[in-house]
Amino acid sequence: MSDAENRVQWVYSSPDNEELRRRYDVWAREYDGDLERDFGWQGPSLAVDYLARHVASTAAILDAGAGTGLVGVELQKRGYENLVGMDMSEGMLDEARKKRVYRQLDQMILGEPLAYRDGEFDAVISVGVLTLGHAPASSLDELVRITRAGGYIVFSLRPDIYMEGGFIQKQTSLEDSGAWKLVEVSPKVKILPKGEPEVEHQVWVYEVI
Ligand SMILES: C[S@@+](CC[C@H](N)C(=O)[O-])C[C@H]1O[C@@H](n2cnc3c(N)ncnc32)[C@H](O)[C@@H]1O
């Protein structure tokens, strides 16, 4: 196993949020190299492709679980400049700060109440964050609350986690209650084609009602 694969295993085996945060703090400086060089991480560009089909370039966008800012960099390339990032890990946020693409970076935890106003954002994007052992399906309630009516929520998700991680129930119940409606969902994409070609993600796009 490569060093990068060992680091991924180590982070993903965290027993709780506190340890997960600590391990991301440690990984932060190597993260971009590991993900781009060893794994060929496609998540940021794929999700931003989908967001850009619906969201105007002037939109206020929250990058939820921004990590080192790879999504912010993709957004900036497509002309988005009104960007806020949030993440549980200060170490990851320190790396994101160096990219100079976010106007604000906040340490917060998905799955807990977020310190943003109702309808504060025109769109929320979250890539590689909603998954087992990271941000739970219940995080979506707060993401809906902080997105304005008519705004968009775009996120990547593993198909097996959608089925078995509580997401199918949460996403369906938000539709049934009239909180959001599904706009589109991407085909399954090999999201780590170099290091873990068996891992697939889909990008989900919802409009908040
Ligand atoms: C795999 S990285 C993805 C980072 C970035 N979105 C990207 O595409 O490169 C996962 C990020 O989610 C953050 N994270 C995990 N669980 C979280 C939670 N419950 N609340 C906030 N951030 C969380 C981690 O600190 C880490 O920065």
Closest approach atom of ligand 1 to CA 67: 27
Predicted confidence (pLDDT) at residue 1 exceeds the cutoff of 90? no
* 9 belongs to a structural domain: no
Tokens of 183: 């706009």
Alpha carbon 17 to its chain centroid, in Å, reads: 16
Which atom of ligand 1 is the closest one to the Cα of 92? 27
Q: 93 C-alpha to center of ligand 1: Å?
A: 10
The whole-angstrom separation of Cα 65 and Cα 134 is 9
**Percentages (nearest 5) of helix, strand, coil residues in the chain:** 40, 25, 35
Q: Which atom of ligand 1 is nearest to the CA of 111?
A: 19
Of the candidates 88, 114, 82, the one whose C-alpha atom is nearest the C-alpha of residue 18 is 88
In the predicted model, is pLDDT for residue 132 greater than 90? no
| Atom 25, ligand 1: residue with shortest CA distance | 89
pLDDT at 190 exceeding the cut of 90:
yes
Length of the chain in residues, anyone? 209
Q: What is the pLDDT of residues 60-115, one digit of tens each?
A: 999 999 999 999 999 999 999 999 999 999 999 999 999 999 999 999 999 999 99
Residue 8 lies in a domain: no
Residue 87 lies in a domain: yes
Report yes or no on 184 lying in a domain.
yes
Find the CATH number of the domain harbouring 80.
3.40.50.150
Rounded Cα distance, 70 and 171, in Å: 26
Q: Is residue 151 part of a domain?
A: yes
pLDDT, one tens digit per residue, over 136-165 is 999 999 999 999 999 999 999 999 999 999
pLDDT, averaged across the chain: 97
Q: Is the pLDDT of residue 197 over 90?
A: yes
Residue 19 lies in a domain: no
Which structural domain range is residue 87 located in?
A: 43-191+200-208
For residue 194, the model assigns a pLDDT of 93
Task: With respect to residue 24, please indicate whether it lies within any of the assigned structural domains.
Answer: no
Q: Kindly state the average pLDDT of the residues 45-64.
A: 98
Structure token digits, residue 17? 């949020």
pLDDT band of 5, cuts 50, 70, 90 = confident
Task: Name the domain count of the chain.
Answer: 1
- Band of residue 20 on the pLDDT scale cut at 50, 70, 90: very high
Predicted TM-score (pTM) of this structure? 0.97
Q: What pLDDT score was predicted for residue 185? A: 98
Distance 149 CA to ligand 1 centre (A): 25
- Alpha-carbon span 158 to 200, nearest angstrom: 6
Which pLDDT score, from 0 to 100, does residue 2 have? 83
Distance 64 CA to ligand 1 centre (A): 8
CA of 81 from ligand 1 middle (Å) equals: 21
Confirm whether 14 is domain-assigned: no
Which residue is closest in CA terms to ligand 1's atom 3?
Answer: 128
Mutating to test ligand 1, I would choose from 17, 24, 74, 87 the residue with most ligand atoms within 8 A of its C-beta, which is 87
- What is the distance, to the nearest Å, from the Cα of residue 19 to the centroid of all Cα atoms in its chain? 19
Longest CA–CA separation in the chain, Å: 46
Token pair for residue 145?
A: 């609350």
